[in-house]
Amino acid sequence: MQGAVTPAPILNLLTGLWESQTLYAGVELRLFTLIEKGANTVEELAETAGLPERSMEMLANALVALNLLTKQGTKYFNTEVSSEFLVEGKIKYYGDFVLMNSRRTYDTWGTIVDCVRTNASQRDGIVARFRKDEDFAHLFTRAMHNNAIAPARALVSAVDFSMSRAILDMGGGSGAYSILLAKANPHLEAVVFDLPPVCDVADEYIQRLQVADQVTTLRGDFLVDELPSPFDDVILAQILHSYAPDDCVTILGKAAACLNNGGRLLIIDFFLENEKTSPVYCALFSLNMLVGSPGGSAYSISETEDMLGKAGCGVEKVVDIPGPSRLVIAKKL
């Protein structure tokens, strides 16, 4: 019967895990990198990877179905997206984020029912895990570097830094924002403030991308330690969602206290619309914070304005940038 309701939308949701794990397998087994290097048939891929031909063919065909590979006769080729983001060594490589996300999803989302029942994560938060597991801290920081490149590029384009001289990248992770800002603005100096194992990774990127004369790291915990000052801008990129509202107010207040007169808070995050049901990614990400952090959440723009007000700041502008993030520019009142 035409127009009949079917369970297809439910099936599509149920197989979402299949799709993400197929992507994970392709990255973990370096399939996209091998194809880029010229191993294009099942036989070539299996031999190069040291894997059985049967399972390699199944994986490659599934990746074609997901539009991550194309198939011409017996040969497989990367799509434009796969070539750009899933080939090791390329500047926009996103594979670290795929690997970290897949491994962490099993550890956290399997507890979703208990998290909703108790209104609490069943796992350690990120900071607690960093303190216990330095290898995880390094993996997570590299993954977040992949995820930060696009919004960092957008920040460079969206905001005029011609009058800025000193920037604090608070909880700056790999330093992606500071590094790209330094590359685009030779007059800028930036300090990446984060936990010790995170700064270890940031130092690697700073040296590799040759901005050590402009970007430095400072180790500490921004909830506990005194922050350096003064700065013309303070960047808070993907920080607020990991914390409960009261902690967010504390963080914003400490950030504002670091600013020169007329300085700006540049807040990048997965902001929800005020009804909190969209964008889809941000609504799901809020649940991701429930299962993976002690008190985190995706916040709406109005909730963020309220937290900024309690910290003595006001929103100057909200800027749409590519991807699920948005930029809130605020100043001290």
Residue showing tokens 């370096």: 30
Rounded-to-integer distance, Cα 36 and Cα 77, Å = 8
Question: Is 145 assigned a catalytic role?
Answer: no
Out of 138, 145, 187, 241, pick the active-site residue.
241
Going by C-alpha positions, the residue among 290, 226, 282, 284 that lies closest to residue 258 is: 226
Separation of alpha carbons 86 and 90, rounded Å: 8
DSSP notation for 242-254? GS-HHHHHHHHHH
Sequence-distant (≥ 6) Cβ neighbours of residue 118 within 8 angstroms? none
Q: What are the two backbone dihedrals, phi and then psi, of residue 236, each rounded to the nearest 5 degrees? A: -125, 90
Helices marked H in the chain? 8-14, 16-28, 31-36, 42-49, 53-65, 80-85, 95-108, 112-118, 126-132, 134-158, 176-184, 196-208, 245-257, 280-292, 301-310
- Rounded distance between C-alpha atoms, residue 127 and residue 99, angstroms: 19
C-beta of residue 287 within 8 angstroms of C-beta of residue 297: no
Answer yes or no: are the C-beta atoms of 172 and 151 closer than 8 Å.
no
Phi, psi at residue 189, to the nearest 5°? -125, 140
**Catalytic positions, written as ranges:** 241
